[in-house]
């Protein structure tokens, strides 16, 4: 936990790259969640 917090502070100057990485991770997570929901709905019918 401490190392990740330190890395966030240390990489603060690279916030653009971090935000892009975060946005990519969020987008992938949203797509994966939507895919799971879609698969669950299809399995229900």
What pLDDT digit, counting tens, does each position of 1-45 carry? 556 665 655 655 666 556 777 788 889 999 999 999 999 999 998
* Euclidean distance between CA atoms 45 and 41, whole angstroms: 7
Cβ-contact 31, 24 below 8 angstroms = no
Predicted local confidence at residue 26, as pLDDT: 84
Domains in the chain: boundaries: 2-44
């Amino acid at each position: 936990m401490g190392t990740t917090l330190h890395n966030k502070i240390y990489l603060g100057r690279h916030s653009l790259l971090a935000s892009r990485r975060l946005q990519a991770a969020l987008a992938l997570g949203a797509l994966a969640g939507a895919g799971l929901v879609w698969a669950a709905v299809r399995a229900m019918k």
